[in-house]
Structure 1
């Protein structure tokens, strides 16, 4: 709902049935129904100030019914006709029930109640639309952030503003301070800080310089830079997020779709029961025909499934919105709803449970075997590793800092590692198996670190090992609390890794995971997920790489880490945009809340129907009380669903 002047609501639900047919439902309300609704409301209020049962009062109430209920009456008739034609069978909706109830109330002279019924029902209808719009707002705001123009650097060096859709891979762009970056690319010159919150939800800008990747839709800070386009505008990270958004709005939960399928059948049953109820009144309950018809109208109102119809959709969209605001994008409500029922979770190790890159965890130097101090050893190691270009070298350089800058000529010899000569001595960095004569202290440390799943590098002087460095891809800080949460929920946890079993077990012990499966080939991950589904039932899988894609598809719910590959994000059912595992446990809590709220709504709405119908049969219910109680329950159900917008604890 934008404003009173311009009310626009669009609700498109499309889902595939098992038979392969798709069903779509589309409503579009312009500003007219809102204006007519409030005009009718004014007439209804004015009617109370006139003489009771006077002709003018009656006309005001009738006018209020038709004006406020204009879109209800039209939708009730047109939707029923269209759906019935499409299905070649009678497919009524709840609007037709409300229309018939309003007309029935007028037939028995209850013009005030007829207007009241339509006013409350239409008001609840608009509230549900507002609830859906409010629920979607967090994610649909992304659409406004889609970049439309770029500053293209032409062959002669001049700058031309062009449409983003016209950009090609390899084009050079200029990005000025404050600009919205047009598409994904690599910085060629310049440095800056970039607000990437639209991509990863992180509020702190990231520093970027030559060679760094930048993403379309993010906002440049104070710097100016040039970049090269690396992706078509339809393939950018932001474009993929928009795809997720569209899917999430068109994919409702299983409960929601079941209710939508049930609604026409329920309405048909009510339409059959109402005339039978009226006919039974005089013969079974000894009512007059007037009273029987009156009770029939009350029954029609009481039995209408308004609250039931509103039980799931506002709650589901609110849950999706809640998570989207916190960097968790679900492709649909069905996946969020199913998350509450998982019995096991499988994790890829590298980049999911761990940081994805090795860090130095331990270092030991046997300085008694040499004249060098520990810092002398570090100076030589740093100088040697500066010439290397591999993850282990990066880990060593991040951990150790030289006091004396040495300019060494280093050879990288396959099978031996890094070798250099300095001050007449030969120094070597390599794997333990490349060395033979090793001191007992070094060997003891090596065995201990190996048991802990760490990778060890030896440092030698003149073929004598005088030190070693242990490195490991360490667990994420969030991994242990997330595993603890899942275990507390009775959910089995498994780590799947291509690393050696010993390495996997070492990480598993640190985070408390239930099961570790090591030495797994990429093509076998999906088989493990299939086996776990047989063992446990519903299984979720978290991963970030191309080799995780088959497993993500096989799992009941596949969750991709946002910093992972495009393929993983494409095939997953949900994405953690910040690579923050705690977002997964938050999503599970939200899914459990959604499940509780939907069932609360369903049970409450059906109890209200049962109560009102029973009181009506006993003669304890009049049409006014029936209208207020029935439509009031609908309002309560919608408001209860909106509670999902509140952050989960």
Structure 2
């Protein structure tokens, strides 16, 4: 019994995927035979009607009965039946054939998009080799828990998000970022589920549950994107119902008015009404948007750009300005200590030890850079008490019974800080360095200068955006001098300095008033409100979960060049959709006018109308190309 079920399953899956196309092909073959076998033609045409039109007729009737809505399927079935009533069996059958073929093409687009998602889901291993109680055991990847040690051999896919605790290797992250060039990974580097361990054995500590991995989030994002429709698509769907009712009303009038008003014969009147029923159907218009949108989403996903739906693709093409968070977005987010100045009664090592001991309890990138500097010099950390993190300003703490404040200029005694070492802070800031001040009970104890390195691809990405006329803005909490230096190095048009995390939201509102459609690019928790407030929020894939949730577009590789690529996809899709709509409406109007002037025959009407639908779908499928 199981063997029979296994044999039947591939057949049912094949019919589910390709049944519509198979029915269209059989319908076409029957029509071809009907033209050859004249005597059997009525039966063959009838069979072509039933086989080719069954799926669409079922869809139209279900919508009519359950949704109480009229759609284009009903128009086509009525037109085909009307054609048969007046003796045009061949034309009616051809209408059914081409209509079912265009429907099969739309289904192909949806299936192609689903196949991309299925292929993505298949990349995550179902099992993992885990080390427990000094033994290697194989368990389902879904049963991995935080802290588990997973052994990954060369050539295997990584089953979980984690951190390398043993070994080094090259990792192919194409499934996540779309970038096929392997990335070198060593101790303490993060790895992601679904990526491939190329050449070295690794032991990885699990850092996320299976449903929280980046890979799992990608799949969720792509799935939700498929179901979210753009405003244009929603408008077309609403318009379809009203349009179909209007066509049926006009056709109802066409069945008798031309006979009395224009003197047409009853046969000619009915014939023209049937032609109108065919050519006025909005098939091409209905198919103008969805195939192109789904193709654009699939294209982006293959290249490490995740759109959360057609709405966001449409909006992205209208963006006039892009605002960037600085740290971790325009820069690497891993600043380094470059200079250190101390008060005369202190040593550099003493000051660095105190600062690093305090910052060790902070998660701020500047604080972590100070800690790394102390670790490189092998300094010992001191106990810290009364630690307080003042968001956007700095930290307070006690070390050896003495109170310290570490932070920006306005967090300490501003006058003393500016005068410290003959105003050295201003010189350092002019060089694009961020200056952190350390203040104790005697006053300014010293200052540490750090430089956050601009990403290699930042300059190229900014140039690409400028090339298409997009204004660029940097938003940072850094002071004026540092912000100016970084903006100049990156090629940014405008910078807004000394903006606290809570001020970013108001800043985005101001930019929207000034420029209209604004995108925000960020990666941190403090960027999430601004990402949500912008017309389009773009998150860096390696950013925080909050940023990923709040954004509309996700760049799976932290590559800013992908922004211009995403905009290019959006603009290309909008161009194709516009072409489709103009072409579809033009063909409908031309065919309707030709019918009223009695120039158009039913066969030509069928070919013109259904041919335009197929051309519109094929034009939308161009978005599948790289």
The TM-score, its normalising length taken from structure 1, stands at: 0.79
Counterparts of 1:133-532 in structure 2, within 5 Å, are 133-155=111-133, 157-358=134-335, 390-391=368-369, 448-455=427-434, 472-532=451-511
Is the contact between residue 136 and residue 318 of structure 1 (CA under 8 Å) also seen in structure 2? no
1:46 aligns with 2:33: yes
| In structure 1, C-alpha distance between the alignment counterparts of 2:523 and 2:613, rounded to whole Å | 42
Gaps of 5+ in 1: 10-27, 85-90, 364-384, 399-406, 415-430, 434-441, 459-467
Q: 1:545 to 1:129 in 2, by over 3 A?
A: same
Is the contact between residue 356 and residue 370 of structure 2 (CA under 8 Å) also seen in structure 1? no
| In structure 2, C-alpha distance between the alignment counterparts of 1:353 and 1:396, rounded to whole Å | 26
Is the contact between residue 332 and residue 452 of structure 2 (CA under 8 Å) also seen in structure 1? yes
Quote the residue 2:520 is aligned against: 541
Is the contact between residue 173 and residue 196 of structure 2 (CA under 8 Å) also seen in structure 1? yes
Q: 1:36 to 1:128 in 2, by over 3 A?
A: closer
* 1:66 counterpart (44, 50, 57): 50
Deviations 1:250-296 (A, max 9, x none): 11221112111211111111111111112211022211111100000
Quote the residue 1:641 is aligned against: 620
Q: 1:396 to 1:284 in 2, by over 3 A?
A: farther
**SS of the residue 2:36 aligns to:** coil
Number of residue pairs matched by the alignment: 563
**SS of the residue 2:138 aligns to:** strand
Deviations 1:28-67 (A, max 9, x none): 955544443333222211111133xx4x212211211211
Deviation of 1:239 (Å):
0.9
Deviation of 1:635 (Å):
1.0
Deviates more, 1:197-206 or 1:278-287: 197-206
* 2:591 counterpart (612, 618, 638): 612
Deviation of 1:135 (Å):
4.3
**SS of the residue 1:168 aligns to:** coil
| In structure 2, C-alpha distance between the alignment counterparts of 1:244 and 1:411, rounded to whole Å | 43
Q: 1:361 to 1:301 in 2, by over 3 A?
A: farther
Q: 1:92 to 1:470 in 2, by over 3 A?
A: same
Quote the residue 2:24 is aligned against: 37
**SS of the residue 2:95 aligns to:** helix
**SS of the residue 1:145 aligns to:** coil
Deviation of 1:113 (Å):
0.3
Gaps of 5+ in 2: 1-9, 341-354, 361-367, 385-407, 413-420, 438-446
Is the contact between residue 464 and residue 561 of structure 2 (CA under 8 Å) also seen in structure 1? no
| In structure 1, C-alpha distance between the alignment counterparts of 2:477 and 2:539, rounded to whole Å | 18
| In structure 1, C-alpha distance between the alignment counterparts of 2:113 and 2:265, rounded to whole Å | 49
Deviation of 1:169 (Å):
1.4
* 1:602 counterpart (564, 581, 588): 581
Deviations 1:74-125 (A, max 9, x none): 11212221211xxxxxx11111111001100000000100111011111111
* 2:529 counterpart (509, 526, 550): 550
| In structure 1, C-alpha distance between the alignment counterparts of 2:126 and 2:177, rounded to whole Å | 21
Is the contact between residue 240 and residue 570 of structure 1 (CA under 8 Å) also seen in structure 2? no
Q: 1:32 to 1:408 in 2, by over 3 A?
A: closer
**SS of the residue 1:619 aligns to:** coil
Q: 1:104 to 1:354 in 2, by over 3 A?
A: same
**SS of the residue 2:122 aligns to:** helix
Deviation of 1:495 (Å):
1.1
Is the contact between residue 359 and residue 396 of structure 1 (CA under 8 Å) also seen in structure 2? no
Is the contact between residue 33 and residue 70 of structure 1 (CA under 8 Å) also seen in structure 2? no
Deviation of 1:197 (Å):
1.7
Deviation of 1:611 (Å):
0.4
| In structure 1, C-alpha distance between the alignment counterparts of 2:549 and 2:234, rounded to whole Å | 24
Is the contact between residue 117 and residue 223 of structure 2 (CA under 8 Å) also seen in structure 1? no
**SS of the residue 2:112 aligns to:** helix
Quote the residue 1:130 is aligned against: 108
Deviations 1:512-544 (A, max 9, x none): 323211111112211211222233322211001
**SS of the residue 2:130 aligns to:** strand
Q: 1:264 to 1:386 in 2, by over 3 A?
A: closer
Is the contact between residue 500 and residue 519 of structure 1 (CA under 8 Å) also seen in structure 2? yes
Quote the residue 1:462 is aligned against: none
| In structure 2, C-alpha distance between the alignment counterparts of 1:528 and 1:320, rounded to whole Å | 30
1:97 aligns with 2:98: no
Deviations 1:123-181 (A, max 9, x none): 111112112333454444211112211123233x2222222222221223222232222
| In structure 1, C-alpha distance between the alignment counterparts of 2:123 and 2:499, rounded to whole Å | 41
* 1:581 counterpart (525, 538, 560): 560
Deviation of 1:496 (Å):
0.8
Q: 1:35 to 1:321 in 2, by over 3 A?
A: closer
| In structure 1, C-alpha distance between the alignment counterparts of 2:450 and 2:166, rounded to whole Å | 34
Q: CA RMSD in A?
A: 3.6
Deviates more, 1:248-257 or 1:625-634: 248-257
| In structure 2, C-alpha distance between the alignment counterparts of 1:451 and 1:491, rounded to whole Å | 27
Is the contact between residue 187 and residue 225 of structure 1 (CA under 8 Å) also seen in structure 2? yes
Q: 1:321 to 1:77 in 2, by over 3 A?
A: same
